[in-house]
Structures are given as structure tokens and as C-alpha cells.
Amino acid sequence: MWHQCPACGLKFEREAGYFLGAMYISYGLGLIAIVGIGLMLWGFTDWTLPRITFWAILLFLPLAPTITLFSRVLWIYLDQAIDPELPTPQNQPPRGSN
């Protein structure tokens, strides 16, 4: 992932542990995806619950990297909506620094 936006210069990771909130979003989205896959398997097959759970988790695994990146994007949007940080141009130092 880029450290700054190449177009506007927005610093993505404001502080250490910045994307911890994105982990909660990723967990929620992953849980929704696994339950959704499980419900589809339950509706279309006559498998037992342990088998449905196993296959739902297995089928979810290829989606995990995409959901992780998507949750980071959602976290940045949420953070910018609540506490906006003005981007600094890449070629100029931030104001007040000498």
C-alpha cells in the first residue's frame, strides 16, 4: 500500500496502529461473507452444519485479501469524514516545518 496518495499527497497511515479500526471492519465484513456463503450452501445442499461451516470458511479464504484492502479504504473514508486531514503536496514540506 502506498504511504501517501500519489494524486493529492494524503498520508494514509496517520500514526502507528492507524489501521486497527480497519481490522474490526474487516472482521465484520468477513463474518457477513462467511454467513452468506454458509446460508447459500445450506439452501442448495443437504449437508450437515459442520460440513457447511468448513466449506463456507474455505470458500471465503480467496476473498480475504480483497476484503482487507476494502476495509482499509472504508476506514480511511470514515476517518476523513470524522476528522479530516488536509493533504500536503509531495513537493512541499508541511506548513510550520523548517
Indicate whether 4 belongs to any domain.
no
pLDDT value at position 83? 81
Residue 60's alpha-carbon distances to 50, 88, 92, in angstroms, are 15, 38, 44
User: Average pLDDT over the chain, rounded to whole?
Assistant: 84
Q: Read off the pLDDT of residues 42-77 as tens digits, 9 standing for 90 and up.
A: 999 999 999 999 999 999 999 999 999 999 889 988
94 exposure class (CB count in 10 Å sphere: 0-12, 13-18, 19+):
exposed
Copy the grid coordinates of residue 77: 473514508
Q: Read off the pLDDT of residues 1-50 as tens digits, 9 standing for 90 and up.
A: 677 777 777 777 777 778 888 999 999 999 999 999 999 999 999 999 99
pLDDT value at position 91? 43
Domain count, the chain: 1
pLDDT value at position 35? 97
Indicate whether 89 belongs to any domain.
no
Predicted confidence band of residue 89 (pLDDT cuts 50, 70, 90): low
Range of the domain at 55: 20-81
Indicate whether 2 belongs to any domain.
no
